[in-house]
Amino acid sequence: MKLFIDSGHLPDIAALVPLGIIDGVTTNPSLLAKEDANPSDLLKQICDTVQGPVSAEVVATDSEGMIREGRELARIDDHIVVKVPFGKAGVTACRALTAEDIRVNVTLIFSPTQALLAAKVGAAYVSPFVGRLDDIATSGLDVVGQIVEIYDNYEFLTEVLVASVRGPMHLVEAARLGADICTCPPAVIEAAFEHPLTDIGLERFLKDWEQARAARA
């Protein structure tokens, strides 16, 4: 499963990329709005840093505006994937941009029907928001499982990009369900490195080794 960073914060991205576990980045208008930088310049720097797919979202709400903005975003760097919100305008824009060989990530996906329609117009990625579904007592992971099943049934090439991830268990379950990608906030990726038994085990090894060395000295 590919692992993306869900963030527009360049220092966090630059800190994780050298670990060799990161395959891409996803941003959204809320994440970019947190950064004190020109969005296009920042997206270019993120592309240069991660050297993988970087999702950048349009803010227009009509299909013509989305197509226009999508072309502008795609000109920033070859790694840019244009994110459009699901809806009739988003589906129309996805079809048009895909026809121009611009990869599209259809976002704000909350149901398998939305994911099915996005795949039918050639979306490169769909982003089901598991955390926001969980927030309203609907299992986001169940929706991911249904999308994966439907895509397998019809061999859609669209990749399932699990988003709105709240903790390492979303990462585990996304992988178990066979999702193609999981995008995680930096804090979730950091948490995935943590395990108390690994720390305790290493401490004991080093203590035993040190005691033996001191005894031989």
Which are the catalytic amino acids? 83
Find the shortest distance in angstroms from Cβ 81 to ligand G3P. Answer: 12
Q: Is the dihedral of CA 144, 150, 153, 157 positive or negative?
A: negative
Asked if residue 52 binds ligand G3P (CB under 6 A), the reply is no
AA letter at 121: V
Distance CA 83, CA 26 (A): 9
The nearer residue to ligand G3P, 172 or 216, going by C-beta atoms, is 172
> Of 133, 164, 170, 177, which one interacts with ligand G3P (CB under 6 A)?
164
> Of 8, 25, 26, 140, which one interacts with ligand G3P (CB under 6 A)?
26
Find the shortest distance in angstroms from Cβ 155 to ligand G3P. Answer: 26
Contact in structure between 44 and 70 (CB atoms under 8 Å):
no
The nearer residue to ligand G3P, 57 or 69, going by C-beta atoms, is 57
Tokens (6 digits) for 151: 């895509």
**Which stretch, 15-23, 45-53, 125-133, 150-158, contacts ligand G3P (CB under 6 A)?**
125-133
Asked if residue 163 binds ligand G3P (CB under 6 A), the reply is yes
Beta-bridge partners for 204: none
Distance CA 175, CA 15 (A): 24
Asked if residue 2 binds ligand G3P (CB under 6 A), the reply is no
3-class secondary-structure state, position 41: helix
Find the shortest distance in angstroms from Cβ 119 to ligand G3P. Answer: 19
Mark residue 160 as left, alpha or beta (left: phi above 0; alpha: psi -120 to 50; beta: remaining). beta
The nearer residue to ligand G3P, 26 or 64, going by C-beta atoms, is 26
Asked if residue 28 binds ligand G3P (CB under 6 A), the reply is yes
Asked if residue 132 binds ligand G3P (CB under 6 A), the reply is yes
Q: Which helix (H) or strand (E) holds 186?
A: helix 186-193
Residue 215, CB half-sphere, CA atoms under 13 Å: how many?
6
Find the shortest distance in angstroms from Cβ 127 to ligand G3P. Answer: 6
Cα maximum dimension of the chain: 77
Residues that bind ligand G3P (CB under 6 A): 6, 26, 28, 129, 131-132, 163-164, 183
